[in-house]
Amino acid sequence: MGSLIDEFEVNYWEQGKLVVGIDEAGRGPMAGPCVVSGVIFPKGYYDARINDSKQLSEKQRDELVSIIESNALWTFTEIIPVDIIDRDNIYRATQNAMKKIAIESKADIVLTDAMPLDDIAIPVEAIVKGDARSLSIAAASILAKTVRDGLMKVYDLEFPEYGFAKHKGYGTKQHKEAILKFGRCPIHRKSFRFKDETQISFDI
């Protein structure tokens, strides 16, 4: 047992269960994919450095990725492209990706950050603020955010006028002003708009 952040894992480990933690990065941005990751740690694993990805610096997250991947029994990452987000809506697209990971994991119990998963045979515990209360969810949040941030830096090279490397697609003042000036690019989500936005867009 490490601390309160692994209390959910410890509870299930003591029952002999394999636990997968699942979390996402990028549900809220106006541009770019959403990324969902899952992590299974061996019974008794603990690392005090693993925490909610939003509480860590980019350098800390980058360092933890290799630690998580080398100590986990299993990791999996699913990238949800913009067209799927627009087709299914962000909530359903994220939920579907989480269900896929849950099934792929073959775990006995699924822990999510407050996301209910219906229509799967595996028990799911949706934990409010789970990325700060579950070691496995926190680790999944780190993997997902690191992958997504890396993708947004690549998109920044392709579409430099929007500043994706800085705001990662979120609706900052700079980002909104760029959309008003240049229109939308192919990685902007059609289903995410803001009050003063024009209808100018690239052909997608």
Residue 79 buriedness (CB in 10 A; 0-12 / 13-18 / 19+)? middle
pLDDT at residue 2 above 90? Answer: no
Domain boundaries, the chain: 4-160
Is 23 within any annotated ligand binding site?
yes
pTM of this structure: 0.93
Backbone angles phi, psi at 77, to 5 degrees: -130, 135
124-126 and 19-25 as β-strands: parallel, antiparallel, unpaired? unpaired
Q: What is the pLDDT of residues 19-68, one digit of tens each?
A: 999 999 999 999 999 999 999 999 999 999 999 998 999 999 999 999 99
CATH 1.10.10.10 is the classification of domain 4-160: no
Q: What letter represents residue 181's amino acid? A: K
**For 116-168, what is each residue's pLDDT tens digit?**
999 999 999 999 999 999 999 999 999 999 999 999 999 999 999 999 999 99
DSSP, collapsed to helix, strand or coil, labels residue 34 as strand
- Is 156 annotated to bind a ligand? Reply is no
What pLDDT does residue 193 have? 84
User: CB within 8 A of 187, min separation 6: which ones?
Assistant: 31, 32, 33, 82, 155, 159, 164, 169
| 196 appears as a binding residue in the annotation | no
